[in-house]
Amino acid sequence: MPIQKPAPLMIDGRAHYTLSSVEPIKIEVTVPFVTDEETDFAAASIVRQAGGTADDLQDDAWVSEHFQGIEDGSQLLSAVRLQLRQMGIRSAEESKTKKCLDILVSRLNQSVPTADIAETREALEAEIAQQAQAAGLGVDAFLMQNGVSRAQFEESINEQARDEAELAAALDAFAFVRKLSVDDGEFTHYLSVPEKDLEQFIDQARHQGFYGEIRDAALRNKAMETVVSECVCNYKARIQGGGGEPHQAAHRCARRGFGRREVRRRRAQARLTRLCLASTAEEPSHATPLSLGVRMRRVFS
């Protein structure tokens, strides 16, 4: 049975958290080793998607006609192998970040109050409602369109709210102990605000009373980068397809399509909230995601 942690000390209306340690985190991350079998399987899947057969892979003219920049079957196999390796490296880096933050959260000496988790949940629900509105749908219709039942949504958002609230608490504690700070000029990096919009963004935040919230989000991002950068990581190789579902990486490669660059932002445990600052009537609205940095899990994955 897990030990019940005490509630945090409240100072000036804010919860004050502590960590059992701020020493560099040590983890082990597995990097998949791409085998010939994985490469052949992925290449065969890609060829089938292009309307070909296994024999066409040996036809250099067919290959060059159907795959831009590829001259023959051998070059296609090399490109597919490279694609699988890159996917494995990206997966390992995401795993590294998640493991680091999981351990950081485990170091929390206090539990996060249910009221804070509920507040995080409300922010997540507001974000989903905003996405649904942008798609011209109600929330239930939006969930259905994404193949998510209401029960699945409730379970997912409850878990995500708890995870995000706990991560925010751990990052706050880390930033406090390490005496980290962030100035307005760093918002371009930690909040992804374009430099040309920075002054307006800050002015709006101050005017509408959100400056403290965006500053907290930026500081958490800084704390997260510090935790991950200081992490001592031991990488080990593993043959893909061993144990678990065979050809899993090859299936992913084929589904995305060869040559298509996978677009992912760094992910780990979760984000704080999304804050949309309304701008003046003369200017378009400026919406900025106040992420905790990297994102491990979305409601729709």
277 has a pLDDT exceeding 80: no
- 17-21, 72-76, 239-243, 253-257: range with lowest mean pLDDT: 253-257
pLDDT band at 239 (very low <50, low <70, confident <90, very high): low
pLDDT recorded at residue 286: 30
The overall average pLDDT reported for the chain is 79
Q: What is the 3-state secondary structure of the chain?
A: CCCCCCCCEEECCEEECCECCCCCCEEEEEEEECCHHHHHHHHHHHHHHCCCCCHHHHCHHHHHHHCCCCCCHHHHHHHHHHHHHHHHHHHHHHHHHHHHHHHHHHCECCCCCHHHHHHHHHHHHHHHHHHHHHCCCCHHHHHHHCCCCHHHHHHHHHHHHHHHHHHHHHHHHHHHHCCCCCCHHHHHHHCCCCHHHHHHHHHHHHHHCCHHHHHHHHHHHHHHHHHHHHCEEEEEEEECCCCCCCCHHHHHHHHHCCCCCCCCCCCCCCCCEEEEECCCCCCCCEEEEECCCCCCCCCCC
pLDDT band at 254 (very low <50, low <70, confident <90, very high): very low
pLDDT tens for 1-41 read 567 899 999 888 888 999 999 999 999 988 878 888 888 88
pLDDT band at 195 (very low <50, low <70, confident <90, very high): very high
pLDDT tens for 54-96 read 888 888 899 888 898 898 889 999 998 898 888 888 887 888 8
Mean pLDDT in residue range 165-194: 95
Q: Indicate the domain borders of the chain.
A: 24-290
The residue with greater pLDDT, 141 or 237, is 141
The residue with greater pLDDT, 157 or 276, is 157
pLDDT band at 138 (very low <50, low <70, confident <90, very high): very high
pLDDT recorded at residue 1: 55
pTM of the predicted model as reported, rounded to 2 decimal places: 0.69
